[in-house]
Structure 1
Amino acid sequence: MTTPPTAPDPTMDAIGQAVAEGRAGDVPSARRKLLALWSTIGVTGDPLHRCSLAHYLADLYEDPSQALAWDIRALDAADAVTEQRAQEHHADLHIAGFYPSLHLNLADAYRRLGSFAAAAEHIEAARTQTPRLPRDPYGDLIRNAIHEVAEAITAQDRTPRTSAPGSPS
């Protein structure tokens, strides 16, 4: 994204701060902060907030069943985000660009749980959505991860990916 957010959004700022904390290694604190925000937002709150929070919170769980629950919430919330709402947050943001990553995460969680048919459905949905990805390092990262997860599904490999967000390096 090249332009700044169109309006300050304290909730998105708080989500971003918790995510940064988790990426810096304090996963328990980041998880607590995101769960507290989830309680504030609620299940009927702003879908952009719910989608973003759930998407990032899923990455903070090593247990694939816990990650899956948050990945499902993220996809459900994305379906309620309008293009207008996405662009209110950031002029360059398009909700369509969320779907490859959301389906990728669902595919990976299902794969880790051994539900390879469900994983295959979501990896195909992610592949179908890849034209919506930007041609930049982020888009390349997601495309590569889709390929990696697809191979693991074919091999019926349940091993956690070392390249997945939240994975120990």
Structure 2
Amino acid sequence: MADDRMADIYAAVRLGGFDPEAARRALTKLWDDIGEGGDPLHRCVIAHHLADVQDQPEDALRWDQRALAAVFGPGIPLDEGLRGFLPSLYLNLADSHRRVGDFEMARMQLVIARGHLDVLANDAYGAVIRSGLGHVEAALELRSMERLPAN
């Protein structure tokens, strides 16, 4: 049986491509519906994508932190599904820290992201994450706090 909740999550995520406000509303509703005791993968994915549709870097950072907290909550086993998100989660944390001007923390998050690259396949998704690491690293070198263009 397909995961209906995940289908709802990805339907909300797709809204972000043309209506970020609608995506924020839909994802926030899903976040509230799932609650603190909800499935860690669902919570991680929702928070991860909510970070992407925030206007303010401080808000994106808070959602990125929630996404990571969903993975490492008390009693949550780090299964393969959650492990597969770690490079992207740490990449997004690095970018959010960079955007708020915390360059040292951004560098640390990039190191952690690189340490988890072994979970990525040599496919299009892996290439996007690896490319993203390079883009954030380049922006860090310039001490830029500007939003990077979407891949």
Which residue in 2 is equivalent to 1:12?
6
For 1:36-75, list aligned pairs within 5 A: 36-75=29-68
1:79 corresponds to which letter in structure 2? F
Q: Which moved more, 1:131-140 or 1:150-159?
A: 150-159
Quote how far apart the aligned CAs of 1:159 are: 1.4
**Residue 102 of structure 1, aligned match among 89, 99, 122:** 89
**Residue 16 of structure 2, aligned match among 22, 40, 58:** 22
Quote how far apart the aligned CAs of 1:62 are: 2.3
Instruction: Verify: 1:82 aligned to 2:86, yes or no.
Output: no
Q: Which runs of 5+ in 1 are unaligned?
A: 1-6, 85-92, 165-169
TM-score by length of 2: 0.92
CA gap 1:29/1:95 in 2 versus in 1, 3 angstroms: same
Quote how far apart the aligned CAs of 1:138 are: 0.7
Paired with 2:111 and 2:70, the residues of 1 have a C-alpha distance of 20
Quote how far apart the aligned CAs of 1:160 are: 1.0
Which residue in 1 is equivalent to 2:149?
162
TM-score by length of 1: 0.83
Which residue in 2 is equivalent to 1:87?
none
Paired with 2:7 and 2:78, the residues of 1 have a C-alpha distance of 20
Paired with 2:133 and 2:106, the residues of 1 have a C-alpha distance of 11
CA-based RMSD = 1.5
Q: Which runs of 5+ in 2 are unaligned?
A: none
Paired with 2:81 and 2:38, the residues of 1 have a C-alpha distance of 19
CA gap 1:110/1:50 in 2 versus in 1, 3 angstroms: same
**C-alpha deviations, 1:104-137, integer Å up to 9, x for none?**
0000001011000110110111111112111001
Quote how far apart the aligned CAs of 1:64 are: 0.7
Paired with 1:140 and 1:31, the residues of 2 have a C-alpha distance of 27
Paired with 1:8 and 1:157, the residues of 2 have a C-alpha distance of 42
Instruction: Say how many residue pairs are matched.
Output: 149
Paired with 1:148 and 1:58, the residues of 2 have a C-alpha distance of 18
Comparing both chains, which one has the higher relative contact order based on Cα–Cα distances under 8 Å and sequence gaps of 6 or more? 1
Paired with 2:118 and 2:81, the residues of 1 have a C-alpha distance of 13
Quote how far apart the aligned CAs of 1:37 are: 0.9
Quote how far apart the aligned CAs of 1:95 are: 2.2
SS at match of 1:44: coil
Instruction: Verify: 1:137 aligned to 2:124, yes or no.
Output: yes
Paired with 1:52 and 1:94, the residues of 2 have a C-alpha distance of 11
Paired with 2:6 and 2:50, the residues of 1 have a C-alpha distance of 13
Quote how far apart the aligned CAs of 1:83 are: 5.3
